[in-house]
Structure 1
Amino acid sequence: MKLLVRHQTVYRYAASAGRVAMRLKLMPVDTPAQTVLEWQVSVNGEPITGFHPNSYGEREAIWIRHDRLDHATIVAEGLVDTRESHGVVGHLSSRVDTRYFLRDTSLTRASAGIAAMARDLPEQDGPLATLHALSAAVSDAVQYRAGVTTSNTTAAQAFALGAGVCQDHAQVFIAAARSIGIPARYVSGYLLAGDGDALHETHGWAEAYLPQLGWIGFDPSNRVCVTERYLRVASGLDADEAAPIRGSVTVAGDIWIDADVRIAQAEDGVEQRQLQKQQQQATPPDSEA
Structure 2
Amino acid sequence: MRLSVRHSTLYQFDAPMRFVTQSHRLTPASNGCQKVIDWQVSAEGAEFGASFVDGAGDLISTMTLQGPVERITVVVEGTVETSSGDGILRGHREIVSPLVYLEATHATQPNRAMLDLRDLAVGGADGPLDRAHRLAGAVADAIAYTPGATTPQTTAAEALELGQGVCQDHAHTLIALAIAAELPARYVTGYLWTEGGGETAEASHAWAEIHVGRLGWIGFDPANRCCPDERYIRLGSGRDAREAAPIRGVSRGGGGEALDVSVVVAQQ
Same fold per superposition (TM over 0.5)? yes
How far is 1:149 from its partner? Answer: 0.8
Equivalent positions of 1:96-245 (< 5 A) are: 96-121=96-121, 122-194=123-195, 200-245=202-247
Aligned to 1:80: 80
| SS in structure 2 of the partner of residue 241 of structure 1 | helix
Moved more, 48-57 or 98-107: 48-57
Question: Matches of 1:264 and 1:37 in 2, distance apart?
Answer: 15
How far is 1:127 from its partner? Answer: 1.5
Preserved CA contact (<8 Å) 2:166 2:223 = yes
Preserved CA contact (<8 Å) 2:52 2:60 = yes
How far is 1:172 from its partner? Answer: 0.2
How does the TM-score come out when normalised to structure 2? 0.94
Preserved CA contact (<8 Å) 1:35 1:82 = yes
Distance verdict in 2 for CA 1:14–1:27, change over 3 Å: same
Question: Matches of 1:19 and 1:45 in 2, distance apart?
Answer: 12
Q: List per-residue Cα deviations over 1:1-56 (Å, max 9, x = no partner).
A: 01100100010112111121111100100111111110011112658463211111
Unaligned runs of 5+ in 1: 267-289
Aligned to 1:94: 94
Moved more, 182-191 or 46-55: 46-55
Preserved CA contact (<8 Å) 2:47 2:65 = no
Aligned to 1:254: 256
Q: List per-residue Cα deviations over 1:91-137 (Å, max 9, x = no partner).
A: 63222111000011001111111122112223122211221111110
Q: Aligned letter for 2:103?
A: R
How far is 1:75 from its partner? Answer: 0.7
| SS in structure 2 of the partner of residue 18 of structure 1 | strand
Identity of aligned residues (%): 40
Question: Matches of 1:206 and 1:191 in 2, distance apart?
Answer: 14
Aligned to 2:30: 30
Q: What is the aligned residue count?
A: 265
Aligned to 1:8: 8
How does the TM-score come out when normalised to structure 1? 0.87
Q: Aligned letter for 1:58?
A: D
| SS in structure 2 of the partner of residue 240 of structure 1 | helix
| SS in structure 2 of the partner of residue 205 of structure 1 | strand
| SS in structure 1 of the partner of residue 243 of structure 2 | coil
Aligned to 2:54: 54
| SS in structure 1 of the partner of residue 13 of structure 2 | strand
Q: Aligned letter for 1:264?
A: A
Q: Aligned letter for 1:246?
A: R
Moved more, 252-261 or 87-96: 87-96
Preserved CA contact (<8 Å) 2:49 2:62 = no
How far is 1:254 from its partner? Answer: 2.8
Unaligned runs of 5+ in 2: none
Question: Matches of 1:108 and 1:44 in 2, distance apart?
Answer: 36
